[in-house]
Chain A
Amino acid sequence: MNQIGPIFRALLRNKVGALLLALQIALTMTIIVNAIHMIENRSSMMARESGMDEANQFHLMYVGYKDSFNERVAVETDLLEIRKLNGVVDATQINSTPLSGGGWSMGLTTTPNSQDGTPVSLYFVDDHGLNTLGVELVAGENFSPTEVTYRLSNDKQWPQNILLTEAAAKNLFPDLTPAEIIGQTVFIRDDEPMTIKGIIDHLQAPWVQWSNVNNVMLVPQRGLWNANRYLVRTEPGERDRLMREVEELLLAKRDGRLIRNVTAMDEQRDDAYQDFFALQTVLWVIVTVLTLVTALGIVGMVSFTVNQRRKQIGTRRALGATKGDIMRQFMLENLLITSSGLIIGVASSIALNIWLVDTFSLPRIGWHYLPIAMVVLVIVGQLAVLGPARKAANLSPALATRTT
């Protein structure tokens, strides 16, 4: 450690060079910390469960276009036939699905005509909805087949019973347990009462960036809107075959409608998070290349210093310094510069994060990013010095001291 004094004094002879390197390291740390924070932030959003059995589900859309298309009869027979197919677990009509980005939301209140509603997204399903979606009841009961009704485009009435996700129920009744919430009344459209018949564990709204993404209400109705969706759940491994079979089954009816967007749920997930994944990839590229540039910069700088100090190195070696001493000198010098850069880096990382929080409403960085980034950059710095330092140590003293 008694080497620090001379190394520090040597550094002072090239203040600007050292300062530039320190600044570069500070900025590198700032970018890496904040970029990794953004990547992690997106990852945690992408890791949220939709609540469905995504690997074994697909959905498709139909649009009727001929007067002869009798939607009510079609939906009833379609669903019976689809459920009978070999490998199908269950099927339901549904107006939208999680991760789809399009749907319907309404406000619910616990007292009529109250101002502060709880926003929920709506899925219209029949009594097969729970099984098809792959969600579990936490309390209460599923819809019975007899309470499923039909809903026309301009209908405004709401059915008597609904199911809610646990998150939505907790929003409405923060003080009650799920069992206590069963049978409670909520109001829709200002003053229309509905009873909570059951609570399901978890299901996402269609919009992944919605702040109320866990608030969902299931409504026991089939929509007769001339255009709608079926969701099908299959046995593991049977999905791809059934996607073709179900489409063929429906097309073969030739009843004046078209079938579009036959989509597997996991494909839907990739679509929903495509932009997240893209941002992550771009940031990873920046972080990687940045680390590389900084490391190569250090290699270049140190090589130069070594070249410049050939004589001094030779003199030190001639006076008895070991190869290790020479190596240590360069490693320590780099450690000194890197550390001062990292101290500035901590401050600037936090400053940039505060600005990002303000401007793009990103969450704060976790403190643990800072020590991790510091350790990583110290290692990168030391590895970068290793090559040139070894070259310095291997200089033969006789050659090095010779005047060129």
Chain B
Amino acid sequence: MIAYYGRLALLSLKKNVLLTGLMIAAIGLGIGAAMTTITVNYLMSADPIPNKSERLFAVQVDNWSPNEAYDEPNLPPDQVTWLEATQLTEAKMAYRQAGMGTSYGVIEPKGQDQKPYLASVRITYADFFPMFEPPFLYGSGWTAQADEARELVIVLSKEANNEIFGGANSVGETVTFSGNVFRVVGVLDEWEPKPKFFDLATGAFNDMEDVYMPYTLKQALELDTSGNNNCWKPIAEETFQAFLNSECVNSQFWVEFEDPDDKHAYLDFLHNYVAEQKQLGRFPREQNNRLHNVMEWLEYQEVVADDAQMMMYMALMFLIVCLLNTIALLLAKFTGRFGEIALRRAVGASRRTLMLHYSVEAAIVGVLGGLVGLILAWLGLQGISALYGDSTEGLTSLDGTMIAVGFALAIVSSILAALYPTWRACSIAPAGQLKTQ
């Protein structure tokens, strides 16, 4: 029976190719625009580490000025000081914990034909690797002993390893970084979590760092600070140690719990820690300690760009216009067939049958519109990635979920659009219509 309706529907759609084309184009364009922008928003707010995002927490403590909050309304800084990054990591009060920051330096060429390599560096603790689970090509992260002993160990990104060692297994080899000889302990595979949730300070969708080394080396080697550094209080002396001991926030601190509920115990610990620091004359503000798990943190830091949201709302409204358009066109079309409908009713077709018949017709328009929409969405995403360049890398691909969402949206929209016109068509009184013939 459905096959018969399908044939009838196709026949009727073919009868007015222009109108059918217009409806399919309208739905297709609406779906295309909506899907393009929904995909960007969906990927921007995606869970970057689904297996443990509930158990990883960003830690905030409020060391800011007594006179004004870091941000209104009374929000603590997004980052922590060197003191907190080291002391809280070394307190080991969570299942795992890692303070971290960024630096840079030059890796010297190994041979004559190589060029010096300017590397961005993530300085962090041994727990970083089991916490954030970057995939390793060769070797592994370093040990907690290496942190403590300030060993000159380094983990290379795949890209850095390609650059310096031509992609070979370099574990055990050495590299000279800013005049110091480091031992390679591990090489990462491709790793680009989007968003870069553990450090949003300079951009949520920035590239990963080129190399990784112990945070404890920052003090030992007086490593430069890159990224975002924010101070409220003048630094006491003209020494590197004074900078480290200052109230400048430039590091991140993350903890992992075995059970998300451990966060309450950890907040108690933070309260005691800050109380102790207050004894030392730091933390002039009220206690204001916060823990956010990964998804809460992305929300709190408003990772989804305003522009992306605005575009999505505009595109959704555009979709509504396209649907209104389709409703009007379907209505006009069905109205034009009142005579035919009346005749079918008069010779015995039930309302249900007619409803089904016209719904099939609408669904066909929906499916075709959905197809056109997906193609347009794919094109739209290419366009977005061309317009925005590198910053949208990894944010413009259609995955299975999005394709399914696209089709569902197309079919639901077209059925919705067909609802009123179909009802109108089927509720006419056959006698009145036939009379005018």
Contact = CB atoms under 8 A, between A and B. Distances in A.
A283 B224 CA distance: 42
Interface string A314-344: 0000000000000000000000000000000
Given A286-B314, A301-B332, 10 more contacts: A31-B321, A154-B240, A154-B243, A190-B234, A225-B224, A279-B311, A281-B383, A283-B311, A286-B318, A293-B325
Contact of A31 (B237, B239, B314): B314
A153 B329 CA distance: 70
A308 B335 contact: yes
Contacts of A286: 33, 314-315, 318
A98 B242 CA distance: 30
A75 interface: no
Interface stretch (A17-25, A82-90, A127-135): A17-25
A178 interface: no
Given A297-B329, A301-B332, A305-B332, A258 B115 contact: yes
Contacts of A35: 314
B434 interface: no
A151 to B, nearest CB: 11
A394 to B, nearest CB: 18
Interface stretch (A2-10, A237-245, A270-278): A270-278
Contacts of A290: 318, 321
A22 to B, nearest CB: 10
A156 B331 contact: no
B238 A23 contact: no
B420 interface: yes
Contacts of A279: 307, 310-311
Contacts of A356: 310
A252 to B, nearest CB: 15
Given A65-B179, A297-B328, A305-B332, A360 B322 contact: no
A356 B314 CA distance: 11
B310 A38 contact: yes
A157 B240 CA distance: 15
Task: With a 10 A CB-CB cut-off, give which of A16, A65, A279, A289 has the most chain B CB atoms.
Answer: A65
A73 to B, nearest CB: 19
Task: With a 10 A CB-CB cut-off, give which of A14, A16, A190 has the most chain B CB atoms.
Answer: A16
A30 interface: yes
A66 B179 contact: yes
28 contacts: A16-B420, A16-B424, A20-B328, A28-B321, A31-B314, A31-B321, A34-B314, A63-B104, A65-B178, A66-B108, A67-B179, A115-B68, A155-B238, A258-B118, A260-B118, A274-B388, A278-B387, A278-B388, A279-B307, A282-B383, A282-B384, A286-B314, A289-B29, A290-B321, A300-B18, A304-B335, A305-B332, A308-B336
Interface string A11-46: 000101100110110011011001100100000000
Contact of B332 (A17, A30, A38, A275): A17
- The main secondary structure of chain B at its interface with chain A is helix
B9 to A, nearest CB: 19
A307 interface: yes
A16 B328 CA distance: 8
B335 to A, nearest CB: 7
B179 A301 contact: no
A31 B424 CA distance: 30
A304 B179 contact: no
Interface string B100-126: 000011101000000110100000000
Nearest to B321: A27
Nearest to B36: A282
Interface of A: 14, 16-17, 20-21, 23-24, 27-28, 30-31, 34-35, 38, 63-67, 115, 153-157, 189-190, 225-227, 258, 260, 274-275, 277-279, 281-283, 285-286, 289-290, 293-294, 296-297, 300-301, 304-305, 307-308, 356, 360
Contacts of A282: 311, 383-384, 387
B314 A304 contact: no
A307 B336 contact: yes
B343 to A, nearest CB: 14
Contacts of B333: 304
A165 to B, nearest CB: 23
Nearest to B338: A308
B240 to A, nearest CB: 6
B353 to A, nearest CB: 24
Given A279-B311, A300-B22, A65 B325 contact: no
B329 A301 contact: yes
Contact of B327 (A20, A28, A30, A115): A20
The 7 A-B residue pairs whose C-beta atoms are closest, nearest first, are A65-B106, A278-B387, A304-B332, A297-B325, A20-B328, A189-B234, A24-B324
Contacts of A260: 118
B26 to A, nearest CB: 6
Nearest to B385: A278
Nearest to B389: A274
A17 B335 CA distance: 10
A18 to B, nearest CB: 9
Nearest to A38: B310
A14 B315 CA distance: 29
Contact of A63 (B106, B115, B243, B315): B106
B145 interface: no
B384 A278 contact: yes
Contacts of A20: 324, 327-328, 331
Interface in B1-37: 18-19, 22, 25-26, 29, 33
Contacts of B25: 293, 296
Task: With a 10 A CB-CB cut-off, give which of A21, A64, A258, A356 has the most chain B CB atoms.
Answer: A258
